[in-house]
Chains A and B, each alone.
Chain A
Amino acid sequence: MPRPRRTPARVIRITHWIGALSMLVMIGSGWQIYNASPILPFTFPPWLTLGGWLAGGIAWHFAAMWVLMGAGIVYGTYGVVSGHFRRDLRLRGMGAIGRDMGLALRFRLSHTPGHYNAVQRLLYTGVLIVACLTVASGLSIWKPVQLGWLCWLFGGYDLARRIHFTMMALIVGFLVVHVVLALLVPSTLFGMVFGRRPAPHDPEAVR
């Protein structure tokens, strides 16, 4: 019997870390750009921002955009073609989400390599949708004329700017929860870097 493959697949691990780094750069430089003309009554502390001034922030934002789009396209294509999205990220019913959420809050949720629980599925699918909306609303405020239809879909330039900001906030919220959970279960962190082999006879692994 062949040994089971390491999980998550190497493509997912590589694109995850490239995507995470470029996402952090996009957030830091995005805060720099936001500070040039804030839409809410606050600005981000300069030491948390990237680029030094507006033009530098824009330079970093677009550099990271190319990297993120590249990683996103590879990840998305692999996720669809390999069946990973269908198999591992498909949402479970409300009952399963409620049960796993309860277990997670009592720190009783078990982690099995190669299998995501209902809460993880919800979070990952959610952040992937939000990331797509972030990119789309970002494109619409970058090109409100050439991509006028997209800007119109987001309700015009001013609203699209606010949507882009809101999507960023959701990603930051996800990131906080995501990092805390990863640090609470360090074996998953190890797995996301090096991959883990699921136990061959683990019924969870083949589910």
Chain B
Amino acid sequence: MKRPDLDRASIAPELRRLERRLMLKGAISLGGLAMLSGCTLDDEPAVERALARVMSLTDRAQALLFSRHRLAREFDAARITRPFPFNAYYGQEDVRTVDPAGWRLEVSGLVADRRPWSLAQFRALPQKRQITRHICVEGWSAIGCWSGVPLSVFLHHVGADLRAKYVDFHCFDDYSTSIDMATALHPQTIMVLDFDDTALPAAYGAPMKIRIPTKLGYKNPKYLAAISVTNRFPGGYWEDQGYDWFGGS
């Protein structure tokens, strides 16, 4: 009798879940304080839950602080950070690429028109350019120049339900993140086609990334593959592991 081959892809989600649990456990190791008091809160689900609850309180405060009319500061071209740093949850040698001519953005959820979009269609829409500061949750920051279609323009085009709560992004490098509708409609939230006035290079998310200068770096997905408008909380790659969901700056 032949044993069926273990299919790595089929257990991948299971593995990822396991990894996340381990990470969350690490998150609540009390480090020095635990050593002082001689007890570990590592495996204390009550602490885990309490921290998560405070985090959602903090997220609510962030949403209250957010204003649709307040703009992130824009800079002169001379301030652009060169070279602009590469950053992803993997190394630069593992960057995935697609043929731009064959690329389509999948559109789903609470929208009237769910036909996929090509790059040419995006190029035909009005473009906006910004030189803004990208701030990473780790604390470093870099100034870059991005241009593309305001997300609000696109959402109007596809007849999205603008009263929906979330816009969800999925990427072909298996990254994902999601944002609140208020931020999605912010004038500086753009679907980027160009970096520094030339077509977005592979390292920075070709063929399309979402640039949101009012949010931290992990809320700015690259290598976009699909967009969805929804009322069901979508979470995201880092958010599911313990980073706060709102991630505003």
Contacts and interface: CB of A to CB of B under 8 A. Distances in A.
Contact of B139 (A36, A50, A63): A36
Interface in A38-67: 39, 46-56, 58-60, 62-63, 66
A129 B95 CA distance: 48
Contact of B31 (A49, A58, A144): A49
B106 to A, nearest CB: 29
A146 B70 contact: yes
Chain A contact surface mostly: helix
B13 interface: no
B65 A143 contact: yes
A55 B242 contact: yes
Interface of A: 24-25, 28, 32-34, 36-37, 39, 46-56, 58-60, 62-63, 66, 142-148, 157-158, 161
Contacts of A62: 54-55, 58, 244
Given A143-B65, A145-B213, A145-B214, A63 B27 contact: no
A143 B65 CA distance: 9
Contact of A51 (B31, B52, B54, B71): B31
A201 B33 CA distance: 44
A24 B33 contact: yes
Contacts, number: 109
A50 B31 contact: yes
A144 B30 contact: no
A92 to B, nearest CB: 36
A197 to B, nearest CB: 32
B212 to A, nearest CB: 10
Contacts of B27: 51-53, 55-56, 59
A149 B135 CA distance: 17
A147 to B, nearest CB: 8
A146 B248 CA distance: 9
Contacts of B54: 59, 62-63, 66
Nearest to A25: B33
B243 interface: yes
Nearest to B53: A63
